[in-house]
């Protein structure tokens, strides 16, 4: 017959049973069970006060914590979370300290524990980290050096109309310059919105976008009517690598917040949805602290560009030695007695051809190199063959 295993609780029950029989003294009882008399009396008192449950191991945690957050403070924390349900404890703590500086607030981790205990925390799935982008993107050092733009994914409104939110941000300060819900994404629709942004904030040095319409096309240099206009204004269009939205990561992160706070649920029509966008933009710029900015608000760091939007766009000028050609209505230029197709997007514009070596010329529109022309065959080099030369020319123009 196998031996029976006993637990500490079983031994304590036996100890109390023999103690209650009073057949032997406490000292002898403690010697038999191998415990001190202090321990024996402790469990005897526990049994008298709590019955059999008193023989179980009790928590060593103190009943009262010296630094426990009071109920009133917890109520303020929960109320702040109710106003900003998608904010984390760090952002909430900045606002709480700003609104109530006389209160000694607990750490952000404590706020997180309080919110988590009440089921108010959104646990996000861990995202895979992406590799560093291989393309060279401009790193802004001041406001308006780089603006980022994109269309957040469209969604249906209550009246079944599609809403396409156009978003424009200043990369250095994270300030949202525009959120405009549109029913279309063509150049004719978006160009007046860009003109309004330029009038209000001035001109940036670079505008970073993806490769979709209306920002880019499949033509030479990926130029679209919108990017041609930007170049004429002295703005460099910068595009991320196709299928790599992480290269515009901070703008995409803003889109996630926009989706959480301003598109769910969708409004009844575009006008109502725009009111929600405007409220979100106001809070994002002026109220919501940003960790990457040292918990400052974007609007507190942003200043408009000193480069003002011109009443008249000056013509593009090319350096001496560059051969200038006019793009005809069919998108061609005349070269060595032949017509070479460039792009219908550049119809009516002037392009420059700068000789690289005995055989090749670089085609420019303003400061932007678009393609490499083989002078012997009067044809453009394939994109892969021209890529290295174009990248070198682009870097030289940026320096």
Which pLDDT band holds residue 66 (cuts at 50, 70, 90)?
Answer: low
| Confidence at residue 125, expressed as pLDDT on a 0 to 100 scale | 60
Q: Do 86 and 158 lie in a common domain? A: no
Q: Do 98 and 158 lie in a common domain? A: no
Q: Is 310 contained in some domain?
A: no
Q: Do 279 and 152 lie in a common domain? A: yes
Q: Is 156 contained in some domain?
A: yes
| Confidence at residue 128, expressed as pLDDT on a 0 to 100 scale | 41
Q: Residues 6 or more apart from 284 whose CB is under 8 A from it?
A: 176, 254, 257, 298
Q: Is 311 contained in some domain?
A: no
47-57 average pLDDT score: 81
Q: Is 250 contained in some domain?
A: yes
Higher pLDDT, 28 or 348: 348
Q: Do 341 and 244 lie in a common domain? A: no
Residue 133, pLDDT > 50, answer: no
Burial of 113 (0-12, 13-18, 19+ CB in 10 A): middle
Q: What is the mean pLDDT of the chain?
A: 87
293-311 average pLDDT score: 94
Residue 234's nearest CA partner among 207, 215, 258 is: 207
| Confidence at residue 298, expressed as pLDDT on a 0 to 100 scale | 95
Q: Which helix (H) or strand (E) holds 255?
A: helix 249-262
CB atoms within 10 A of CB 376: 9
Q: Do 169 and 251 lie in a common domain? A: yes
Q: Do 340 and 389 lie in a common domain? A: yes
Q: Do 167 and 205 lie in a common domain? A: yes
Q: Do 241 and 371 lie in a common domain? A: no
Q: Residues 6 or more apart from 103 whose CB is under 8 A from it?
A: 73, 76, 96, 97
Residue 76, pLDDT > 90, answer: no
Which pLDDT band holds residue 1 (cuts at 50, 70, 90)?
Answer: very low
Residue 234, pLDDT > 80, answer: yes
Which pLDDT band holds residue 63 (cuts at 50, 70, 90)?
Answer: low
Q: Is 355 contained in some domain?
A: yes
Q: Do 99 and 161 lie in a common domain? A: no
239-247 average pLDDT score: 84
Q: What are phi and psi of 176, to 5 degrees?
A: -85, 115
What is the spatial distance between Cα 39 and Cα 112, in angstroms, rounded to a whole number? 40
| Confidence at residue 13, expressed as pLDDT on a 0 to 100 scale | 83
Higher pLDDT, 104 or 308: 308
84-102 average pLDDT score: 86
Q: What are phi and psi of 235, to 5 degrees?
A: -110, 135
8-21 average pLDDT score: 83
Question: pLDDT of 311-335, one tens digit each?
Answer: 999 889 999 999 999 999 999 999 9
Q: Do 15 and 99 lie in a common domain? A: no
Q: Is 138 contained in some domain?
A: no
pTM, two decimals, is 0.73
What is the spatial distance between Cα 176 and Cα 179, in angstroms, rounded to a whole number? 7
Q: Is 308 contained in some domain?
A: no
| Confidence at residue 65, expressed as pLDDT on a 0 to 100 scale | 61
For the chain, the domain total comes to: 4
Least confident of 7-21, 120-134, 228-242, 350-364: 120-134
Higher pLDDT, 289 or 63: 289
Percent of the chain at pLDDT > 90 equals: 48
Write the DSSP assignment of 358-395 as a string of letters: SSEEEEEETTEEEEEEETTTTEEPPHHHHHHHHHHHHH
Q: Is 316 contained in some domain?
A: no
| Confidence at residue 126, expressed as pLDDT on a 0 to 100 scale | 56
Q: Do 227 and 269 lie in a common domain? A: yes
Q: Residues 6 or more apart from 262 whose CB is under 8 A from it?
A: 179, 276, 277, 279, 280
Question: pLDDT of 148-205, one tens digit each?
Answer: 999 988 999 999 999 999 999 999 999 999 999 999 999 999 999 999 999 999 999 9
| Confidence at residue 61, expressed as pLDDT on a 0 to 100 scale | 66
Are the beta carbons of 150 and 209 closer than 8 angstroms?
yes
Q: Do 164 and 260 lie in a common domain? A: yes
CATH for 225:
3.30.420.10
User: Domain limits at 362?
Assistant: 323-398
- Helix-, strand-, coil-residue percentages of the chain, each rounded to 5: 40, 15, 45
| Confidence at residue 317, expressed as pLDDT on a 0 to 100 scale | 92
Burial of 109 (0-12, 13-18, 19+ CB in 10 A): exposed
Which pLDDT band holds residue 398 (cuts at 50, 70, 90)?
Answer: low
Percent of the chain at pLDDT > 70 equals: 91
């Amino acid at each position: 017959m196998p031996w029976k295993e006993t637990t500490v609780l079983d031994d304590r029950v036996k100890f109390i049973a023999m103690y209650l029989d009073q057949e032997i003294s406490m000292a002898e009882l403690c010697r038999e069970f191998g415990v001190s008399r202090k321990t024996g009396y402790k469990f005897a008192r526990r049994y008298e006060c709590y019955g059999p449950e008193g023989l179980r191991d009790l928590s060593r945690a103190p009943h009262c914590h010296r630094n426990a957050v009071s109920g009133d403070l917890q109520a303020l924390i929960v109320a702040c979370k109710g106003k900003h349900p998608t904010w984390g404890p760090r952002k909430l703590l900045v606002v709480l300290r700003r609104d109530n500086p006389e209160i000694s607030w607990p750490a952000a981790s404590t706020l997180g524990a309080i919110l988590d205990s009440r089921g108010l925390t959104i646990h996000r799935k861990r995202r895979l980290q992406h590799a560093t982008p291989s393309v060279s993107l401009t790193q802004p050092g001041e406001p308006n050096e780089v603006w980022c733009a994109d269309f957040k994914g469209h969604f249906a409104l209550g009246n079944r109309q599609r809403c396409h939110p156009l978003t424009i941000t200043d990369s250095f300060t994270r300030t949202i310059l525009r959120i405009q819900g549109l029913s279309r994404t063509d150049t004719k629709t978006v160009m007046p919105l860009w003109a309004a942004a330029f009038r209000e904030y001035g001109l940036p040095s670079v505008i970073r976008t993806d490769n979709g319409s209306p920002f880019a096309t499949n033509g030479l240099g990926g130029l679209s009517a919108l990017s041609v206009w930007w170049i004429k204004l002295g703005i460099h269009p910068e595009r991320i690598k196709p299928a790599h939205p992480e290269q515009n990561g901070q703008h995409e992160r803003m889109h996630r917040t926009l989706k959480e706070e301003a598109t769910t649920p969708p409004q009844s029509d575009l006008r109502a949805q725009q009111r929600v966008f405007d409220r979100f933009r106001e809070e994002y710029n002026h109220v919501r602290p940003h960790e990457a900015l040292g918990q400052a608000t974007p609007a507190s760091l942003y200043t408009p560009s000193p480069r003002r939007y011109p009443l008249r766009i000056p013509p593009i000028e090319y350096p001496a030695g560059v051969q200038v050609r006019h793009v005809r209505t069919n998108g061609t230029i005349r070269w060595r007695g032949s017509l070479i197709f460039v792009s219908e997007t550049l119809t009516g514009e002037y392009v420059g051809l700068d000789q690289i070596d005995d055989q090749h010329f670089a085609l420019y529109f303003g400061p932007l190199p678009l393609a490499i022309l083989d002078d012997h065959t009067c044809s453009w080099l394939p994109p892969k063959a021209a890529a290295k030369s174009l990248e070198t020319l682009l870097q030289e123009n940026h320096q």
